[in-house]
């Protein structure tokens, strides 16, 4: 193509002429159309109602605020030797009515407009479903098998002791802070569960920050936490079944849940394994990832239909995908970013919005809050300590394990939100339990460092 | 650790005793708590209203249905030589009132429960914001620079001709199908824009399916489509400004938009480039990705505040991130999965739900629909053909380019939804335009194959 300067000039002129002609034509058309003949209204119908037009804007404001605040606070806490995820949780609480709402109601209404609440809720629910799916995908059953004989007992002790202590505490809390119309059984079961949660991901993060992951203590702690997670989620599934259904229905729900778990591990897991072995050479494309997502959503819907929470199905479907397959890596790589960077902060904002430190007014409330922290710690730390010592660990190692298992965090918040949604706990009790989760998580690192400074060697028994 | 069979048996007994004790204790506590003393109601307050408790369930049902239908239809269309994304679009329409709603209203209400509509709306809006961000991130400005002198003229002709023809057609459509109270100027501008869209991603897919990406034709087509996209989005930004504001406000919005574009390219782009060069050695972590997402959301909020759509800001922020940086790769890798596999299908379901073929009743409506398809094709194909021929391409190459530029698809749907949300077009006109987008996209591959069969060699001029 030869392109002399002259030809170039002609091209420029032609281009300018084209743009000018088009503009002129548009204005002619415009003047023709601006006649007083309005549009006919016969065929116009009201469009199906979408979200309020500024819902997206409000949602973006909330997400921006909570992501920024969470990151900044996470950095700050990291310097103080705390796990960064704690920063995101605290950022959510600070942007809620507890701090921002108390200091500047206008700023609070700007960051968390009332009309955004249901949208923020659905986005964070979707995020938590995917998060639990990823937790399931990353679950390493080999880790659990390796030292199963020591750790299952320790782990179950670290669930049962706080569970029993928690339900005993429910005797005190029930007449004071329970939702009206909640039967005691549901309430006690729920408080018991809420006390027994250990936050596997936060625990893993703390261990890796303190360079303890590869030690004996680290392995045992991770195994215990993984067993804890699986057990606690199964228990929560049952509790939700009990809360949502009558006693007769609860039995049906329990049977169906067990049948579903059996189906997943006896049929779905080998099937997925077989399919993956047949095709694991190729990097999974969007089609196979979409299939896994559809399977996860179907499992979530099944458990929801049984009467157990959708989260349990999502977690279970993740758990039956082999954690070291290419599919698992592709799922983690493809979803982790969106879920952890955007959707979990949305969840923290949502949880923080429902946490209202102002509700803890009066000595009574703070005494109850302190009792909850004490009982939760005593149950988790004490239960683990005794069981681990009985299992053959040194006192110091057992104590370190007890401190680690007392870490709560994200998992705890998820459980608490389920309870608040079900109406088992009141906003006041929700706030107390959030305070408990924060205190026990914050206490973990310093307590562990204290043990380490005392010349405690994590590899010896 | 020595572990004789005897010790093992003891451990098992201790474990069983522990579980039994815990269970017994729980039942004792339960009987203590089941006294007729109900919970006090003084401290209980109503929790802030979250989404309806079954909203998540409905949303999961909708997502599952549309992902499955889209994948199946995509496969089918792929076999027929059509781009798979078309399958997802058609699946959305089929699950909407056009087919499923007409055949079985019960099934339709199950898949798309009325209460899920606002939630589906916000999830799909969020998805489209992220999608436009990724389109911006993947935008290759080198491609545009390479053959800029030929292609800018061709590309702008392929926008201006359908734009003028479209606004001329608005003279016919306005009294018949416009929303009440919409001024003609807004309406004509919008119809003009809706005619001038080219779907860059679908085009890229078709070219790669036909193995034309590396040919002269492929390069020119991709360049034209990229220029088209950028131009069309800028125009849409202006049109939204005009529609939402009065004339005086529109001028302000235009000036602010231009200032914002200038700021992004003159200040933000070099800043990002510098920051990336300083740190491009390391794989970007979650912190840096979160920063990019925050920047994108801030840009989206800025354009929304100016009065231009949030999508434009998201796209613009993506465009100022160097497309071959590690950050761009990390963003694509981290968000593509969630956005393309889950959120875009949600958008297709949402758009399909608003498409109602049943609204096209009577000869009049179908004539108008046919006219829209004709004018859109004539404008896009004709404009490209003439400009490309004038720019030095052979007639056959120019025709092939015209066919390619006539591809619409996803971009078109996004623009149409913006128009429906703004109330510029009615659901009837929305449906007609969706039909136009589908027809022109479906026609591309067969028309191009016809040209290829006639011995057309895409590398010669």
Whether the per-residue pLDDT at B457 is higher than 90: the answer is: no
| CB nearest A171 (choices: B29, B180, B390) | B29
DSSP B377: H
Closest-CA residue of B relative to A61 is B301
Q: Residue A161: its chain B contacts at CB < 8 A? A: 22
Q: Which carries the bigger pLDDT value, residue A410 or residue B175?
A: B175
Q: What is the pLDDT of residue B179?
A: 78
Over residues B39-57, the pLDDT tens digits come to 444 333 334 445 555 888 8
Whether B237 maps to a domain, the answer reads: yes
pLDDT of residue B317: 93
At residue A279, the pLDDT reads 75
3-state DSSP assignment of residue B178: strand
Q: Which of A438, A368, A381, A395 is nearest to A85 (CA)?
A: A438
| Facing A290 at nearest CB: one of B30, B71, B185 | B71
Distance from C-alpha of A190 to C-alpha of A167, rounded to nearest angstrom:
8
Q: What angle do CA A164, A166, A172 make, to 5 degrees?
A: 120
- Count residue pairs from A and B with Cβ separation < 8 A: 348
Asked if A297's CB is within 8 angstroms of B34's CB, the reply is no
Residue B440 near residue B413 (C-beta atoms within 8 A)? no
Ranges of residues in chain A with a pLDDT under 50 are: 1-2, 36-49, 460-461
Q: Is residue A1 part of a domain?
A: no
Q: What is the mean pLDDT of chain B?
A: 81
DSSP string, A134-146: HHHHH--HHHHHH
- What does the alpha-carbon distance between residue B309 and residue B236 come to, in Å, rounded to a whole number? 8
pLDDT score recorded for residue B51: 55
Domain membership of residue B429 (yes or no) is yes
- Report pLDDT for B65: 92
CA distance A414 to A200: 13
Please give the structure tokens belonging to residue A60: 């973006």
Residue of B nearest to A116 (CA): B50
Residue A367 within any structural domain of the chain: yes
Residues of A in Cβ contact (< 8 Å) with B365: 43
Asked if pLDDT for residue B1 goes beyond 80, the answer is: no
Please state the rounded mean pLDDT for residues B300-329: 86
Cα separation, B417 vs B122, in Å, equals 13
pLDDT band at B345 (very low <50, low <70, confident <90, very high): confident
Is residue B429 helix, strand or coil? Answer: helix
Q: Does residue B45 lie within any of the structural domains?
A: no
What is the least distance, in Å, from the CA of A102 to any CA of chain B? 16
Tokens of A422: 């079900």
Best mutation target among A13, A123, A126 (most B Cβ atoms within 10 Å) is A126
Select from A51, A176, A350 the Cβ nearest to the Cβ of B122.
Answer: A51
pLDDT attached to residue B392: 77
* A121/B51 touch (CB, cutoff 8 Å), yes or no: yes
- Per cent of chain B over pLDDT 70 is 88
Contacts of A49 in chain B (CB under 8 A): 117-118
Report pLDDT for B253: 75
Listing DSSP states for B260-325 in one string gives: HHHHIIIIIHHHHHHHHHHHTTSPP-HHHHHHHHHHHHHHHHHHHHHTS-HHHHHHHHHHTS-TTS
Count the neighbouring beta carbons within 10 Å of the beta carbon of residue B231.
18
- Residues B335 and B284: beta-carbon distance below 8 Å: no
- Selecting from A59, A182, A301 the residue whose C-beta is nearest the C-beta of B57 gives A301
> Among all residues of chain B, which has the CA nearest to that of A150?
B11
pLDDT at res. B86: 83
pLDDT for A296: 94
Angstrom distance (rounded) from CA B411 to CA B51: 30
For A350, name the nearest residue in chain B, comparing CA atoms only.
B50
CATH code, domain carrying A348: 1.20.1530.20
pTM of the model: 0.83
Q: In chain B, whose CA is at the least distance from the CA of A12?
A: B153
**A22 inside domain:** no
CB pair distance less than 8 Å for A420 and B47: yes
Instruction: Looking at the complex, report in whole angstroms how far the Cα of residue A349 sits from the nearest Cα belonging to chain B.
Output: 13
Which residues in chain B are contacts of A421 at CB distance < 8 A?
Answer: 50, 53
**Phi and psi (nearest 5°) for A134?**
-65, -35
Between CA A58 and CA A60 the distance in angstroms is: 5
Domain that holds residue A116: 55-453
Measured CA angle at A196 (ends A192, A197), to 5 deg: 125
Nearest CA of chain B to the CA of A333: how many Å? 6
Look at residue A178 and give its three-state secondary structure: strand
* pLDDT (average), residues B135-144: 76
**pLDDT score for B55:** 86
A195 by Cβ neighbours in 10 Å (0-12 / 13-18 / 19+) ranks as buried
Centre a 10 Å sphere on the Cβ of residue B374 and count the other Cβ atoms it contains. 13
How many structural domains comprise chain A? 1
- Which residues in chain B touch residue A47, judged by CB atoms under 8 angstroms apart? 354, 420, 423, 426-427, 430
Within a domain: A211: yes
Among B344, B345, B131, B123, smallest CA distance to B229 is for B131
CA A330 to each of CA A157, A292, A294, A343: distance values in angstroms, whole numbers, following the listed order: 36, 11, 15, 19
- Does residue B294 register a pLDDT over 70? yes
Q: Give the pLDDT confidence score for residue A40 in this predicted structure.
A: 44
Statement: residue B352 has pLDDT above 80:
yes
pLDDT of residue B373: 92
B181: region left, alpha or beta (phi > 0 left; psi from -120 to 50 alpha) = left
pLDDT digits (tens, 9 = 90+) for B371-381: 999 999 999 99
Q: Identify whether A334 is part of a domain.
A: yes
């Amino acid at each position: 193509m030869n392109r002399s300067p002259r030809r170039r000039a002609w091209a420029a002129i032609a281009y300018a002429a084209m743009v000018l002609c088009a503009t002129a034509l548009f204005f002619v058309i415009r003047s023709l159309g601006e006649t007083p003949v309005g549009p006919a209204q016969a065929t116009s119908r009201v469009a199906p109602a979408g979200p309020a037009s500024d819902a997206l804007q409000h949602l973006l404001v909330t997400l921006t605020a909570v992501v920024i605040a969470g990151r900044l606070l996470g950095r700050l806490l990291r310097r103080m030797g705390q796990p960064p995820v704690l920063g995101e949780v605290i950022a959510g609480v600070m942007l809620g009515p507890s701090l921002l709402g108390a200091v500047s109601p206008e700023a609070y209404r700007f960051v968390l407009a009332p009309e955004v609440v249901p949208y923020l809720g659905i986005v964070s629910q979707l995020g938590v479903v995917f998060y639990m799916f990823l937790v399931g995908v990353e679950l390493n059953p080999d880790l659990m098998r390796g030292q199963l004989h020591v750790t299952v007992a320790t782990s179950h002790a670290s669930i049962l002791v706080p569970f029993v202590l928690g339900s005993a505490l429910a005797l005190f809390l029930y007449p004071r802070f329970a939702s009206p119309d909640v039967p005691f059984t549901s309430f006690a079961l729920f408080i018991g569960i809420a006390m027994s949660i250990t936050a596997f991901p936060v625990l893993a993060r703390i261990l890796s920050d303190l360079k303890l992951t590869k030690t004996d203590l680290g392995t045992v702690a991770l195994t215990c936490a993984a067993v804890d997670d699986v057990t606690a989620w199964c228990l929560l599934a049952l509790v939700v079944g009990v809360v949502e259904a009558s006693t007769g229905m609860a039995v049906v729900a329990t049977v169906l849940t067990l049948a579903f778990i059996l189906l997943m591990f006896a049929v779905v897991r080998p099937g997925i394994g077989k399919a993956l072995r047949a095709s694991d050479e190729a990097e999974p494309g969007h089609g196979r990832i979409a299939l896994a997502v559809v399977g996860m959503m179907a499992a979530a819907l099944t458990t929801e239909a049984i009467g157990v929470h959708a989260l349990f199905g999502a977690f279970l479907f993740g758990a039956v995908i082999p954690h070291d397959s290419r599919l698992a890596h592709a799922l983690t790589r493809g979803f982790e970013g969106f879920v952890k960077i955007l959707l979990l902060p949305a969840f923290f904002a949502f949880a923080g919005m429902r946490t209202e430190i102002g509700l803890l007014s009066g000595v009574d409330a703070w005494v109850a809050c302190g009792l909850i922290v004490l009982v939760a710690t005593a149950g988790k730390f004490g239960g683990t300590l005794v069981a681990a010592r009985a299992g053959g660990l040194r006192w110091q190692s057992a104590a370190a394990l007890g401190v680690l298992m007392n870490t709560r965090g994200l998992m705890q918040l998820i459980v608490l939100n389920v309870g608040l949604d079900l109406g088992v706990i009141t906003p006041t009790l929700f706030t107390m339990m959030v305070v408990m989760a924060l205190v026990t998580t914050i206490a973990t690192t310093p307590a562990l460092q204290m043990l380490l400074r005392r010349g405690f060697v994590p590899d010896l028994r």
